[in-house]
Chain A
Amino acid sequence: MKISKKIVPSSLKRRRSRETKEEIVEKKVEKSAGKDAVELKEVPKAAQNESGSADTLKEEKQHDAKKAESSKEKPVSVKNIRSKKTSDTVEEVSPLKQLIQFGVGYSKYSTYPSKKFLARKLFVPANPNQLLAFIPGTIVDIRVAEGDKVKAGAILLILDAMKMRNKIFAPFDGIVKILNVELGQNVKKNELLVEMQ
């Protein structure tokens, strides 16, 4: 109690002046979200989920699952919430200013998350059947149709990017299961071009 009282206000002050518009908007969202949830013990978490992206939500879930597994860690402690209420109303705190229980090497530490950590993308293993655009560009030629049998090394598409006509080859012998692009289409990086079978 004593500790958080001391820390939170000074750091909040320093950070508040740096908030972006985005964060202020987030705050508003939390305000409305927080009101309904004031009675709950897990208020800070609820508010965080409300404002966070889908990614953060997933992370939180994983986090929770981990917690349950190890059962070492109590859920968010009552002490923490109370101390926050005394220093700042729960509804106003943005995710960057909420103490989270952050695990490093089997121990959990009470700390603020960084923007980068909250925005990180979850890892998705690459699917060898899917050909993704390795560079953003335009599809200028399509040499196959769905259902075509192709040999490894056959040219499927031409992707024009950075003044270069890039050939997209078939990685193995197989069938074009999905052709996800049209002639002249602009594709983003990592957009699905072709799925093979």
Chain B
Amino acid sequence: MSIRRKTKELQDRMNIALSGGGEKAIEKQVAMGKLPARERVEAILDNGTFHEYDLFVEHQAKEFDMDKKILNADGVITGTGTIYGHSVCIYAQDFTVAGGSLGLAHARKITKIMDHAMKLGIPIIGINDSGGARIQEGVNSLAGYGEIFFRNTLASGVIPQISVILGPCAGGAVYSPALTDFVFVVDKISKMFITGPEVIKTVLGEEISMDDLGGARVHTEITGNAHFYAETELECFEQIKKLVTFVPWNNKKKADKFPTRKPRSKFKIDGIIPTDSKQPYDVRDVINSIVDDSDFLEIQEGWAPNMVIGLARLNGDTVGFVANQPLVMAGVLDVDSSDKAARFIRYCDAFNIPIITLVDLPGYLPGIDQEHAGVIRHGAKVLYSYSEATVTKITVILRKAYGGGYIAMNSRHLGADFVLAWPSAEIAVMGPEGAANIIFRKEIAEAENPEEMRKLKVKEYKKRFANPYAAAAYGYIDAVIDPTETRSYLMHALDVSKNKQELRPWKKHGIPPF
């Protein structure tokens, strides 16, 4: 009898705690097009698998009459559940409770679930929707942020960390998502910035809306802070579920194997690349014509579109793709595209995902703005990441591979395990026009018709060097293959390198050109 009475008390307490910020606040949240925090969690996880922790946590703050305030669950929901049967840890800030503000108890709930995820070796998903630090708690809220950042850093490369921005995420709070592997944003809902429009207006006199300053589109297209963009929250949740099927559940495991599926027949690999190396094409078509079910999950689609990165499966196993995109800016390497590729390479390496690099680039983007923006330092990141990576690294040279770009894009010299080239490959120290101008300068200047002579010499150079065979003659390329053989060759390469081990000299850590 008595236990039943106690159960009743539990039920009553739970009902209060689960009510969040109350009906009115929840209605307001819904009116903004946002889901209540608990519904978000349930929408991401498999039906009925969410188990909440720390529902009865209370804050200990006393100043500013805080001791009289009860904040249900202290404004954050934490727990575990499954996605497609795999365990994950999850937390979601509840904007209806004190604006989702972060106090010490709130932060400790988050750090606890993060520690949990680390010990269990399972991914952590964080849903950010918070007005920022709980000012009444003073330095304690700053301590809370710091403890979260510290754990983000420790967990980096150990377990997958996914951040979902479903509301404001301002000030120091943005650094937690920035430290995680993938950031998801939703149009009109996500807002990320260090200093908000009001501060900017008072200090600088510049007026800007929240969306223009740090909205979803800004972070997907201009800053590159966000990796996935969705129009609605539900679309975003689908993206998360799709992503987690591709990633390993921690750095000691491989991603789940799926049944092998052929690429869809509408992607014909031998009909994509124009023979004229100055004509563009969409490199994603090439990827789609290689991978299982033509299912390519592109990451950071809107930012630095001259480089394409993403995950796909080959023979049922997850692989990462890094590819130059000749459709945009001729596929050049520049500050942003180098950054984008370098981080993704390190991601793949950390989580044992083989990297397949598709090369078709004319080189580095020339320009004063690029040089002044530090293209040397940023470009070096690509060299560093490829050289450092010890996962299976496969390169397929589709067409142009000139100069520094050839070296940077996972050449044999940076430790590639397999380097393949299509017959259309042009591997040379520079483009035929430039090379001919320099090598045959004298002949061209002395000729009766310099223009004719130049054309002739360009043609001559093209014939001799604009092919894969010069590089193949030195063994820098393992095989020149028919494009239609690419998929089977890649599957074979992955298969034989299943147990690849590559040791590096001991070090605490390297010093990449950040």
A84 to chain B, nearest CB (A): 13
User: Of all chain B residues, which has the CB nearest A73?
Assistant: B433
Q: Is the CB of B329 within 8 A of A112?
A: yes
Query: A7 on the interface (CB 8 Å rule)?
Result: yes
Contacts of B364 in A (CB 8 A): 104
In the bound complex, what is the Cα–Cα distance between A109 and B304 (angstroms)? 18
Known pairs A10-B282, A106-B437; A114 contacts B367 (CB<8 A) = no
Q: Is the CB of A136 within 8 A of B328?
A: no
Contacts of B167 in A (CB 8 A): none
Query: B306 on the interface (CB 8 Å rule)?
Result: yes
Query: A121 on the interface (CB 8 Å rule)?
Result: yes
Known pairs A3-B274, A3-B279, A136-B205; A105 contacts B329 (CB<8 A) = no
Q: Is the CB of B330 within 8 A of A109?
A: yes
Known pairs A136-B204, A162-B203; A104 contacts B330 (CB<8 A) = yes
Contacts of A116 in B (CB 8 A): 222, 336
Query: A190 on the interface (CB 8 Å rule)?
Result: no
Q: Is the CB of A111 within 8 A of B329?
A: yes
Q: Is the CB of A99 within 8 A of B403?
A: no
Query: B434 on the interface (CB 8 Å rule)?
Result: yes
Contacts of B454 in A (CB 8 A): 72
Q: Is the CB of A114 within 8 A of B366?
A: no
Interface of A is mostly: mixed
Known pairs A7-B282, A104-B362, A121-B369; A111 contacts B433 (CB<8 A) = no
A190 to chain B, nearest CB (A): 12
User: Of all chain A residues, which has the CB nearest B301?
Assistant: A18
Contacts of A123 in B (CB 8 A): 368-369, 372
User: Of all chain B residues, which has the CB nearest A71?
Assistant: B451
Q: Is the CB of A117 within 8 A of B329?
A: yes
Q: Is the CB of A105 within 8 A of B326?
A: no
For residues 63 through 108 of chain A, which have their beta carbon under 8 Å from a beta carbon of chain B? 71-72, 99, 102-108
In the bound complex, what is the Cα–Cα distance between A117 and B282 (angstroms)? 19
In the bound complex, what is the Cα–Cα distance between A3 and B399 (angstroms)? 16
In the bound complex, what is the Cα–Cα distance between A107 and B278 (angstroms)? 8
Question: What are the interface flags for B279-305 relative to A under an 8 Å C-beta threshold, 1 for contact and 0 otherwise?
Answer: 111100100000000000000001011
- 7 A-B pairs with C-beta separation under 8 A: A3-B281, A6-B272, A6-B281, A104-B362, A106-B430, A109-B330, A123-B369
Interface residues of B (CB under 8 A from A): 203-206, 217, 221-222, 271-272, 274, 276, 278-282, 285, 302, 304-306, 326-332, 336, 362-369, 372, 402-403, 430-434, 437, 451, 454
Interface pairs A-B: 9 shortest CB-CB: A106-B434, A109-B330, A107-B431, A104-B362, A3-B274, A123-B368, A106-B433, A111-B330, A136-B204
